[in-house]
Amino acid sequence: MNEDGTEDGGPTLSPRARFCAVIPAFNESGRIGPVVAEARRHGLAVIVVDDGSSDNTASVAAAAGAEVIRHAENAGKGAALRTGFRRALEASYEGVVTLDADGQHDPEEIPKFIEAYERTGIPVLIGNRLWNPAGMPLVRRLTNRFMSWLLSREMGRYVPDTQCGFRFIRTDLLPYLETHSERFAAESEVLLEMAARGIRMDSVRIRTIYGGERSKIRPCADTIRFWRMLRRWRARHSAARQA
């Protein structure tokens, strides 16, 4: 057991890989194995953060070749990402690809992010599903467009799909991206922090994948968390400017 309440398990990270995948997972034993295997096939080491699962997510991920870090209790996606980022920093990877464990992000598209980074040097790349949102439920499509418009306005730069968790981040930026939010609001807060620091960002077109999986997003609760995050972020940065 680590000091922060996590447990390590599974293979150690590859010393040869330049990049790693960080995959938060909660009760995804039926899907996590192929996601890990495909990410490894593209040459990435894989860190799975099992966020308090009650099934065998951890053992399935480890069997597929991931290093698994376990949270004793479910702490939310934001906390899982922070745990994965800390491990990626410890292992000195050049960049991190984040993707979901439930199959909504196709690991076959990982090379798009790596190739775009190597071609342009842009340190942050965010997946863009909204260039062709066919298959995305209408409510999600409208919500994503509104949230992307709102955050783009707040950041002062256009990001077409701010709610997409399929991303590439150069690892040396991670120490500056500690968030205060839990669960899904943390991914929006990361973008706000990067924009405030003038970090270059761009988008990579990816597929829209929606199957029969049950979304872990809770519309009412997560919307409230988003607005609280935005209010705290505005207050914090307003105070910093006045200091």
Q: Tokens 């935005």 sit at which residue?
A: 230
Q: What is the pLDDT of residues 14-43, one digit of tens each?
A: 555 799 999 999 999 999 999 999 999 999
**177 CB-contact burial (10 Å; exposed 0-12 / middle 13-18 / buried 19+):** buried
Query: Where is 233: in which H helix or E strand?
Result: helix 219-242
- The structure's pTM equals 0.85
Q: What is the pLDDT of residues 46-69, one digit of tens each?
A: 999 999 999 999 999 999 999 999
Pairing of strands 19-25, 95-98: parallel
**134 CB-contact burial (10 Å; exposed 0-12 / middle 13-18 / buried 19+):** exposed
Domains and CATH numbers, the chain: 6-242 (3.90.550.10)
